[in-house]
Amino acid sequence: MSKGFAIWQEPGTNPLGIQGEFHTHEISDLQFYDGFVFRPWNKVAECHCLKGDSVSEIETLQCWANEAKPMHPGEITVMNRPEWEDYIGHIQHEIALGHVQKVVAVRQSIHPADVSLFEAFTAACSRYPDAFVSLVYHPEFGIWLGATPEILIQPVGTDWKTISMAGTLLNEQAVWTGKEKEENTATQQFLEQTLNKMGAQILESGQADAVRAGALRHLVKQYRFSLQDANVNQLIAELHPTPAVGGLPRDKALSIIATHEKQCRNLFAGYIGFYRRGKPHLWVHLRCCEWRGNDAVLYAGAGINALSDAAMEWEETAAKMQTISVCL
């Protein structure tokens, strides 16, 4: 058990928060759960869950944020540009050998924090009304602020929704290339195979379309499906991590990530959200940072395939980091 808090705002609502003791549970234990939940990137990690009465008074939520104590684990050694290019080169060598189709490479950077923690949270809520904005304090993982656009799973009436979000463009006039389309197609295939494996019936899935998230455009395909409630948490376990944050084949991609990324991803690219009356409302934890008081550690990833260019992927990750850095 670890005492902390979670404050969040889902699209179209006002902020809510819960303060108390975090408990760990397997995803299979959450069928009848109500409360906040996050799971770190590590696939074998448990979910960290927070139950209690939700609070909506802004003054109370601000007080929680003001009292949160940042962790001071020492200096972060971030991946520099030559190291990044070496990493991308290794991935593409593995692709050329036929060992892997895609790997999502992640790097970190340090950015100064010039506002208070709660001011950063409210700035993110204001800038990104279509994102799931969250502020989490956990004694083990520290303080995390995020504004993610990527849905993992949500209820839609008696059905469910998920998305394939992979492929990013920075320039408004740019057109989708084979690189971005191939990224999204790989995630689509994984989602469809996993849904079929779990006995889901896909009811609706259109074409992949451009969706704006902050200054970026992402290629997104939406799925609506039916699935027995008893199988939903097992589906979540099967989906994480999707190729949009891991790669394909998954085990090989995760092995490459574990070998070549200097820093642990921690909460980045895990999932985060809440259960309401036993139904999960979860997002992939992207566009986030670890708050350290005077500065923050920003995280961003890029999907690497045979058509990737290391310099362009560096610029893409920089643009993704800017999504949250402009709130600091």
pLDDT digits (tens, 9 = 90+) for 191-247: 999 999 999 999 999 887 878 777 788 888 899 999 999 999 999 999 999 999 999
Average pLDDT over residues 171-175: 70
pLDDT at 258: 94
pLDDT digits (tens, 9 = 90+) for 23-46: 999 999 998 899 999 999 987 789
* Closest of 221, 239, 128, 241 to residue 180, by C-alpha: 221
Share of the chain above pLDDT 70, in %: 97
* Closest of 241, 300, 301, 232 to residue 270, by C-alpha: 241
**297 has pLDDT over 80:** yes
CATH class of 2-69+78-325: alpha beta
pLDDT at 33: 92
Beta strands in the chain, from DSSP E residues, in sequence order: 2-9, 16-25, 35-39, 47-50, 102-112, 132-138, 142-148, 151-156, 159-169, 201-205, 209-213, 216-226, 247-248, 271-276, 279-284, 288-291, 295-304
- The domains of the chain are located at 2-69+78-325
State if pTM tops 0.85. Answer: yes
Three-state SS at 88 = helix
Residues 6+ apart with CB under 8 A from 102: 95, 182, 183, 186, 243, 247, 248, 253, 303, 304, 305
pLDDT digits (tens, 9 = 90+) for 131-152: 999 999 999 999 999 999 999 9
Task: Please tell me which residue, 176 or 308, carries the higher pLDDT value.
Answer: 308
